[in-house]
Amino acid sequence: MEQSAPAHVEPASPPPRTVRMAPDERKKELVEKAADFFSEEGFDAGTRQLARQLGITQPLIYRYFASKEDLINEVYRKVYVSQWQDGWKQTICDRNRPLRARLQDFYCSYAPAIFNRRWMRIFFFAGLKGLDINTRYLARVRDELLIPISREMRAELGLECDLPITTAESELVWLMHGTVFYQGIREQIYRSVTAVDYDLALNSAIDMYLQKAPLLVSDAVARARAGITDPAPAGTCAAHFTV
């Protein structure tokens, strides 16, 4: 009986070769993937778990980072520092335009930078873990954004002076900022909404601030000029979760 010829079998493909990368590129890749990892697993997750998820060895991570804390600092720079725009403060302080327009432009630029899953989750995981990511970022927000907004409000009202920003002024601008930030929490953390009307949220927060500021700021500046001190240091932000 005639036998049929065996079917042709393609030779097995060799396993893919590991792509060799320059040290700087490899480090950038590790930071990028570590940011995604920590945003999903939190900072209690260890580098052994990170290495296993990335398909690499744990010693490879420590070839580029002296410690887990060093890696977390690089994640902070990647997710928070690199997203920061010096133009935000310039927009806020441009007195050629009404303050409302400046605040609208600032928040329309700021909101997209922070309203994403990775940014929000890392921020909350860091706060729960007690890392200083929150402290460092909030201090920068206060010094480079919110105190300048308070000073621009004084100028808008014709009350410009060199006196320190009072607690009342600081709290009012934090309330505006917190209202904006909470929309990101609803969308990215609570997942209680599928989409947020950010234009409505931003404009409502700004309206609240602009409506309340004239009386409150006038009174606060008058009290400061009279030497009446605040009940708490101005500009404290340790108790705030807003960013």
Contact 119, 218 (CB under 8 A): no
One domain for residues 46 and 150: no
One domain for residues 209 and 90: yes
Quick check: is 88 in a domain? yes
User: What domain range is 32 assigned to?
Assistant: 23-80
Contact 183, 177 (CB under 8 A): no
What's the count of helices (H) and strands (E) in the chain, helices before strands? 11, 0
One domain for residues 70 and 142: no
One domain for residues 109 and 127: yes
Q: Residue 43's domain is classified under what CATH number? A: 1.10.10.60
DSSP label of 33: H
Residue 114 has a CB neighbour count (10 Å cut-off) of 18
pLDDT of residue 234: 46
Would you say residue 239 has pLDDT above 50? no
Per-residue pLDDT of 167-209, as tens digits, reads: 999 999 999 999 999 988 888 888 887 777 888 999 999 999 9
pLDDT of residue 184: 86
Would you say residue 72 has pLDDT above 60? yes
pLDDT of residue 160: 85
Instruction: Report the number of distinct structural domains present in the chain.
Output: 2
Q: What is the CA radius of gyration of the chain?
A: 25
Q: Supply the mean pLDDT for the chain.
A: 88
Average pLDDT for residues 219-224, to the nearest whole number? Answer: 95
Q: What is the pTM of this model?
A: 0.83
> Whole-angstrom Cα distance, residue 35 to residue 125?
12
Per-residue pLDDT of 9-62, as tens digits, reads: 455 544 444 456 788 999 999 999 999 999 999 999 999 999 999 999 999 999
> Whole-angstrom Cα distance, residue 188 to residue 46?
24
Give the DSSP H or E segment for 188: none
Would you say residue 1 has pLDDT above 90? no
Average pLDDT for residues 85-114, to the nearest whole number? Answer: 96
Quick check: is 198 in a domain? yes
Quick check: is 94 in a domain? yes
One domain for residues 150 and 73: no
Contacts of 134 (CB under 8 A, 6+ apart): 123, 126, 127, 241, 243
Q: Which of 80, 103, 124 is the last residue of a domain?
A: 80
pLDDT of residue 19: 58
pLDDT of residue 17: 46
One domain for residues 73 and 90: no
Quick check: is 182 in a domain? yes
pLDDT of residue 16: 40
pLDDT of residue 232: 56
Quick check: is 63 in a domain? yes
The percentage of the chain sitting over the pLDDT mark of 90, rounded to a whole number, equals 72
